[in-house]
Chain A
Amino acid sequence: MPKRIWPLVLALLVAVAPVAASGGQDYAESRRVLIESIEDDVRATAAYIGRARLDDRVMAAMARVPRHEFVPERVRRYAYENRPLPIGYGQTISQPYIVALMTDLLALGEDSVVLEIGTGSAYQAAVLAELVARVYTIEIVEPLGGAARRRLARLGYDNVEVRIGDGYDGWAEHAPFDAIMVTAAASHVPPPLLGQLKPGGRLVIPVGDRFFTQQLILIEKRDDGALTTTQVLPVRFVPLVRAE
């Protein structure tokens, strides 16, 4: 090998080393660091998302759910980075910051019953399960739904029920729900879901594509049944520089 190749090889080795070294990390510690970073992010975006911090219970749930168990082996070393990850079948596990924010927007109580459309890896369902009495979740892609069901059972989440099928019609047997989260792609809010939302309940839909959550739509059903919707930009960004 010509001499001048060696510096290049060395440089490559140095670049790869941290990745290789992170293999046997302490997941609990990584999770703590992630939670702190989310708390920092929430504080930094406080003015926009309208809260200085997320509900302590939501953050505690985030701190308990082992995200590394919900991602495929080959991306496990990135499990506690604050980023979305591919989980196969063209689906992703959302960015933890967005998961925390969406969960918080649902304003859940301990005895809430929640419906989720789009189970994916079941990470979001697990976070919900830490917080509420019962979670019903529907996944259309059969292998994903099956894996999610087995994973939840293995991790002891016995208050989550997974169904494989079409989420458009909701889950009438268990309706009405205190909260509904729609993470599956849809061109509009399915009317049956609005029907299965309790008065006083909340429904959240992220808008964007698989790796970029652009905005969140929050629908609230008032006690008289009327709906109000709010668009939440998950980021502190003001499109105008105000004139001084």
Chain B
Amino acid sequence: MALGFAVSIVSAAALGCEILLMRLFSIVQWHNFAAMIISLALLGIGASGTALALGRTWLEPRFAAALPAAAALFGTTAMAGFALAQRIPFNPLELAWDARQPLYLALVYLLLAVPFVFAGGFIGIALYWFRERAGRIYRFDLIGAGLGAPGAIAALFLLAPGDGLRLIGGLGFAAAALVCRDRAVAQPGRVAAAFAVLAIALPLAVPAGWLAPRLSPYKGLSQALQVPGAAVVAERSSPLGLVTAVVSPDVPFRHAPGLSLANTIEPPEQIALFTDGGGLSAVTRFDGDRGPLAYLGFQPAALPYHLAEQPMVLVLGAGGGAAVLRALVHGARRIDAVELNPDVVALMRQDLAEFSGDLYGRDDVRMTVDEPRAFVAGTGARYDIIAMTVPGAGAAGAWASSASTLYTVEALAAYLRRLTPGGILAVTSPLALPPRTSIRLAATAIAALESLGVEQPGRRLAVVRGLDRVSLLVKNGALSPADLDAIRRFSRDRWFDVAYLPGMAREAANRFNILAEPYLFDAVTALLGAERRAFLEAYKFDIRPATDDRPYAFRFFKWRSLSEFVGLRGRGGNALIEWSYLILAATLAQAVAAGLVLILLPLRGLPRAGPGRAEGLRTAIYFFALGLGFMFVEIAFIQRFTLFLGHPLYAAAVVLSAFLVFAGLGSGASERLMERRTAEQTIVRAVLAIAIVALLYLAVIPALFEALKPGPAALKVAASVALIAPLAFCMGMPFPLGLARLRDRAPGWIPWAWAVNGCASVIGAVLAALLAMHLGFKAVVGLAAALYLIAAGVAARPFTDAGRGLADTARNRPK
């Protein structure tokens, strides 16, 4: 039992470690790079299986010492790995230029892989040594991981992420102490006591500077703090991000993106809010006097206020409040503001309340902390203006691999449904050249209008372009001649270009701020006409609308254009390349290469006598397919359920936790099921159930979610758990059943199976994201079902003995 709990602790701590490292590297670097680094580091688990398979003979007599040692080393390296990794001068922005950067990157993830090697080693030894009860051990593993996910998220509310790593370190030593007390391990009491002391003492002894994230000097916060007099005035951290408020009394921030050249008013004093050291949002001093805020009318985002009198306004993603102030300045009657991050709102209402004129506490402003789409789905209110801003995606396409359901066809349709007759949805986005986001948004709006049955979407659209920002208006109804006049006047007075209006001439679309061609006019015209398909096909970036099934609003990369981009690299073309996407592809390539090595390496060391080559291949395919399939299902359903539950964080916690816990219960139950049937028969039943349930969910879940959407949160969580439970329960079975198949005939293969499965899980996670970008999440679930069926196919036959062992075949030596 002590062993079981120790497995749970290590498993929970390893999952927590993964979440914390992701958080830390999102602060140090950028979150897409964090995702890549951490997913590769998880190959450490596969590597532990490889090491175990290779060193089994040596290690076997020493298992009793190896178990506590592995746990303690996990705890140590969880802290040390990060402390060392963030000292490596890896700079993702230089990947395009500097040949040393890939080496630094490799070093970073090798260092971070070490704790996962030890955590994986601990669990791998337990699974192999106590293979008679592998189902129960695996249950402890999965349930531990299932508790680790919400545990880590809770810890991130209470602790700085660096201190969270101390907790992980302590848990490693606690597991070491605990496992010493297991009957089979039976280490002396003083050893256990020493580990217990270290569990407290070591994490406390690590200097703060080692674990505190050191931001890349190229992040906005680092650069802001270079300015003389700039200082951090408040900071809050949660799993949603590290929010830092910075004052700069000597050199004001003057943050006003897209500001017209016709504007002569300098913005008032501002405090900058950074999230994870980037994503600047400014809080502007406000004392009730609207005069100093007149500059807010000189940004493209001010356009909708020229088409509505005393509007009811909804601001989605309120941040530091610029859009709320803009609505106030333009005489909004009431403003509903939605912000996801409670820390931002808390800063505004507490630390910066006086400075911001308690903007979010005013009678005419109602602030709600919620995910914007969840708010829109839940509200019954209708608005004259719904305003939102698409953040700058960074020159290097830093967000290409991030999913966001705020800018999908379904999202825009949902916003449009909340407009009053004649109401306006206004989306402001950065203008990059060649245009990408702005064109995709127009395409998305057209698709959303069509999905609502609008016959002539072009009559409802207007696009206005400033120096570096584009505002897209979508009206609930046709734009009137008065609207068109107002838009033209607004643009002319601010030296903005009208990039698209119904019925306008092409020449009028490129007057003040001259582009090589009137790209936006041409694009919107093409998207509204018969040549839409041809245009989307011919454009060198992928600008098809994002959907909830394929929610990658910032991925524009087309493989077809890659050679042209690469040819233009030195000639100013580097910014055309979406590094984040290419890095994801490179991550997959690396994971596959490393995975192959880790899987093939132990073949020489596998026991010579025993089952034949064909059985070896079947074993590999089986555990590989399970690894891929599990991740495919998990990732696709996290995405689906996040949209339903409405909050990325809580959804991930609920879904991940439910998946792992119920899979754990399924694993535990698999042993009992085998009492009546063979492992093979049980596998086939479990796997068929998985495939059927997963495909059934694809069919029924959209309607079910739609019906439950307005319901209370508790009901939604309960429904989610109830839906996940049977699927996950079945998904927990095939792995221990597969081990059961091995344990009588080829027990030496168990560590190898652990390696194959570990590598496949990493490859599966990266592959799922890439497949979702191109094919959508539904396709990912379909593929998962196919993978499970393949696994059932190879494991359906009873285990066969052949004359030659796998290892002999590998060495090509006769027996």
Question: Taking beta carbons and an 8 Å cutoff, which residues of A are in contact with B?
Answer: 37, 41, 44-45, 48, 78, 82-84, 86, 88-90, 95, 97-98, 101, 140-142, 166, 168, 185-191, 194, 207-215, 217, 219, 227-231, 233-241, 243
**A217, B466: Cα distance in complex, Å:** 12
CB pair B572 A209 closer than 8 Å: no
Q: How many residues of B contact A (CB 8 A)?
A: 60
| Alpha-carbon separation in the docked complex, A37 to B570 (Å) | 9
Check B395 against A235 for contact (C-beta < 8 Å).
no
Do B468 and A212 touch (CB < 8 A)?
no
Q: Tell me the complex Cα distance, A229–B497, Å.
A: 11
A89/B573 in contact, CB under 8 A: no
Question: Does any Cβ of A come within 8 Å of B696's Cβ?
Answer: no
A208, B534: Cβ atoms closer than 8 Å:
no
A227: B residues at CB distance < 8 A:
261, 495
Interface of B is mostly: loop
* A240 cross-chain contacts in B, Cβ below 8 A: 522, 535, 538-540
Within 8 A of A (CB), among B489-536: 495, 512-516, 519, 522, 534-535
Q: Bound state CA distance, A78 and B223, in angstroms?
A: 24
Q: Which residues of chain B are near A84, meaning CB under 8 Å?
A: 97
* Distance to closest chain A CB from B456 (angstroms): 25
Q: Which residue in chain B gives the minimum CB-CB distance to A227?
A: B261
| 4 tightest A-B CB contacts, nearest first | A234-B572, A90-B217, A188-B259, A239-B434
Whole-angstrom CA separation of A217 from B515 in the bound complex: 10
Q: Determine whether the beta carbon of A188 is less than 8 Å from that of B575.
A: no
Is there an interface contact between B258 and A211, defined as CB atoms closer than 8 Å? no
B257 within 8 Å of A by Cβ?
Answer: yes
- Option from B266, B538, B570 in Cβ contact (under 8 Å) with A41: B570
Q: Which of A78, A86, A140 is in CB contact (< 8 Å) with B226?
A: A140
Contact B261 A194 (CB under 8 A): yes
**A238–B539 CA distance with the chains assembled, in angstroms:** 9
Q: A191-B266, A209-B394, A241-B540 are in contact. Are A214 and B433 (CB under 8 A)?
A: yes
Instruction: Determine if B740 is an interface residue (Cβ-Cβ < 8 Å).
Output: no
Query: Taking the complex as formed, is B812 at the interface, i.e. its CB lies under 8 A from any CB of chain A?
Result: no
With A185-B223, A227-B495 in contact, is A237–B251 under 8 Å at CB? no
Query: Which of these, B226, B467, B522, contacts A141 with CB under 8 Å?
Result: B226
- Of the listed residues B258, B266, B435, B573, the one surrounded by the most CB atoms of chain A closer than 10 A to its CB is B573
Interface pair B394/A41, CB less than 8 Å apart: no
Q: Which of A83, A95, A231 has the most CB of B within 10 A?
A: A231
Point out the residue from B227, B228, B576 that lies within 8 Å of A235, measured CB to CB. B576
- Bound complex: CA of A109 vs CA of B385, how far in Å? 50
Are A217 and B467 in touch, CB under 8 angstroms?
yes
Indicate whether B263 reaches chain A with its CB closer than 8 angstroms.
Answer: yes
Q: How far is the CA of A237 from the CA of B539 in the complex (A)?
A: 12
Return chain A residues, CB-CB under 8 Å to B522: 240
Tell whether B222 is near chain A: CB-to-CB under 8 Å. Answer: yes
**Cα separation A207 to B468 with both chains bound (whole Å):** 9
B404 at the interface (CB under 8 A from A): no
Alpha-carbon distance between A166 and B252 when the two chains are bound, in angstroms:
9
CB–CB B226/A44 < 8 A: no
User: Could you pull out 8 A-B pairs where Cβ atoms are within 8 angstroms?
Assistant: A90-B222, A98-B572, A187-B256, A189-B467, A207-B468, A233-B516, A236-B571, A239-B541
Tell me which of A140, A187, A234, A237 contacts B434 (CB under 8 A). A237
In the complex the two chains form, is B571's CB within 8 Å of A97's CB? Answer: yes
CA A55 – CA B232 in complex, angstroms? 46
The stretch of B88-96, B161-169, B330-338, B625-633 that contacts the partner chain: B88-96
Contact A237:B573 (CB < 8 A) given known A86-B91, A188-B256? yes
Q: B433, A231: Cβ atoms under 8 Å?
A: yes
Interface centre among A84, A90, A142, A239 (most CB of B within 10 A): A239
Cβ-based interface call for B132 (8 A): no
Closest CB of chain B to A208's CB: distance in Å?
4
Whether A41 contacts B514 by the Cβ 8 Å rule is no
In the complex with contacts A213-B572, A237-B573, A166-B259 CB distance below 8 A: no
Q: Across the two chains, which residue of chain B brings its CB closest to A230?
A: B514
Task: Say yes or no for B187: interface residue by CB 8 A criterion.
Answer: no
- On whether the beta carbons of A189 and B519 are closer than 8 Å, the reply is no
Q: Are A239 and B97 in contact (CB under 8 A)?
A: no
Q: Does B379 lie at the interface of the complex (its beta carbon under 8 Å from any beta carbon of A)?
A: no
